[in-house]
């Protein structure tokens, strides 16, 4: 179990994370749709996540969403590094009705995010859909993983964003799967 406490002038986050969990969660960010996305992420990744974020949501949701991404990324990093005996690479595609989103991932220690879900202008409930990219960027960079999240098709913002959260979770779970035959998963012998 990894514990991350992050306190700024904008947010106060308390997070407990188990990478090799069962998909249990208790999530309270004060942002209904974001909670739903994090619940889907946790359930499909089979992670355990307890998260409380007290943020300045009276301003907007940006600070809370980005800071949760930072804290969760730190927890993922602490769970997996130094890399030894995991698959390292994975990909997955998730269909939600008309939406299809793919995520390809490398747990490499070299942070990068390519994110193309098309035009994410608009809201899902009170959640600005464009904040999904802020979350994934903060999480990927702080987890020190390289991920490409790409919409293949779709028109419903809720379906597109949720498929992105689920495909990222599935790829992360698969890339982080333990494999005793692998050792350090690099021809260099170090990551």
**Is residue 184 domain-resident?**
no
**Length of the chain in residues, anyone?**
191
3-state secondary structure of 23: coil
Domain contains 104: yes
Q: Is 180 among the domain residues?
A: no
Q: What's the rounded Cα separation, in Å, for the pair 123 and 61? A: 12
Is residue 137 situated within a structural domain?
Answer: yes
Name the pLDDT band for 71 (thresholds 50, 70, 90).
very high
Percent of the chain with pLDDT strictly greater than 90: 87
Q: What is the rounded CA–CA span in Å between residue 25 and residue 57?
A: 22
The verdict on residue 189 lying in a domain is no
Residue 120 lies in a domain: yes
Tell me, yes or no, whether 181 lies in a domain.
no
Region class of 168: left (phi > 0), else alpha (psi between -120 and 50), else beta = alpha
**130 falls within a domain:** yes
Domain hosting 130: range is 2-175
**77-101 pLDDT per residue, tens:** 999 988 788 899 999 999 999 999 9
Q: Return the SS3 of 140.
A: helix
Burial 15-42 (b: 16+ CB within 10 A, else e): bbbbbebebebebebebebbbbbbbbbb
The domain that holds 15 is classified in CATH as: 3.30.230.40
């Amino acid at each position: 179990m990894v514990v991350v406490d992050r306190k700024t002038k904008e947010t106060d986050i308390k997070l407990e994370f188990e990478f090799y969990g069962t998909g249990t969660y208790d999530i309270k960010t004060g942002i209904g749709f974001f909670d739903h996305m994090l619940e889907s992420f946790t359930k499909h990744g089979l992670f355990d996540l307890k998260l409380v974020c007290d943020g300045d949501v009276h301003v907007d949701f940006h600070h809370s969403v980005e800071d949760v991404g930072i804290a969760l990324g730190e927890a993922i990093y602490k769970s997996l590094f130094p890399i030894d005996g995991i698959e390292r690479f994975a990909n997955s595609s998730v269909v939600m009705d008309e939406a299809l989103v793919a995520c390809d991932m490398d747990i490499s220690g070299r942070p990068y995010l390519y994110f193309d879900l098309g035009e994410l202008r608009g809201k899902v409930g009170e959640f600005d859909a464009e904040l999904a990219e802020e979350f994934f960027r903060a999480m990927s960079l702080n987890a020190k993983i390289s991920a490409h999240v790409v919409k293949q098709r779709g028109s419903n913002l809720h379906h597109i964003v949720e498929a992105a959260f689920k495909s990222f979770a599935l790829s992360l779970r698969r890339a982080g799967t333990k494999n005793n035959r692998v050792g350090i998963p690099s021809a260099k012998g170090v990551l």
